[in-house]
Amino acid sequence: MTSTLRGGLRFMGLATALVLSIFLSACDQNGAKKANEAFLNTDLTGLDYVKDFSLTDQYGKTRTLKDFKGKAVIVFFGYTQCPDFCPTTMVEMANVMKQLGPQAERVQVLFITIDPERDTQELLASYVPNFDKRFLGLRGSLEDTQKVVKDFKAFYQKSPGKTPDSYTMDHTAASYVFDPEGRLRLYVAYGQKSEAITHDVKLLLQ
């Protein structure tokens, strides 16, 4: 075999390896992109603005986000006297748990009240489990509530009623989903169907 032929074959081998390398790299990038695009809700992966929180559940036990490591955690802000957004969202989350079947044991739904003045521990204990016995209602002081809502970059404020105790609460109606490692991953807009939420939670549990 001549040196020219050997050189040509060597060049062809290098060229083939280079093309294959580019192809595989493109496949990896596309694969990663597809993985990110697989979520049906808004992907918050990489945003690290919620570290943890400490609030009291309906049983009087102090709870932190770290308590649920190993589970996907769905957080929703609301209040028990909410006439629309809150009960609708809680029903959707109950449907998600049903659709997950056995995997639901690896999911924790947290209802954080934005109205701790009226939402006592006893009221949360009678309200939250009505949707699913595994759901937890959390509350804190006014200062605690303001802090945790701010940490989530969410919003709430009182809207006066006809009497001092008949006020309503304007608030962010979305839910936030953490993966089993405690990382914020998804923003679920109000009105999202349970099937879409279930789809995304299953991806996080993989």
CATH code, domain with 170:
3.40.30.10
Share of the chain above pLDDT 70, in %: 82
Domain hosting 99: range is 42-205
Residue 161 burial by CB count (10 A; 0-12/13-18/19+): exposed, middle or buried?
exposed
Same domain for 164 and 109, yes or no, is: yes
Mean pLDDT, residues 184-196 = 96
Residue 175 tokens, joined:
């839910």
Given a cut of 60, whether residue 96 has pLDDT beyond it is yes
Same domain for 155 and 69, yes or no, is: yes
Same domain for 94 and 146, yes or no, is: yes
What is the structure's pLDDT at 11?
Answer: 35
Q: How many domains does the chain have?
A: 2
Residue 99 burial by CB count (10 A; 0-12/13-18/19+): exposed, middle or buried?
middle
The tens digit of pLDDT for each residue in 103-153 reads 999 999 999 999 999 999 999 999 999 999 999 999 999 999 999 999 999
Same domain for 51 and 2, yes or no, is: no
Share of the chain above pLDDT 90, in %: 80
Same domain for 65 and 92, yes or no, is: yes
What is the structure's pLDDT at 83?
Answer: 93
Does this model's pTM top 0.85? My answer is no
Same domain for 97 and 157, yes or no, is: yes
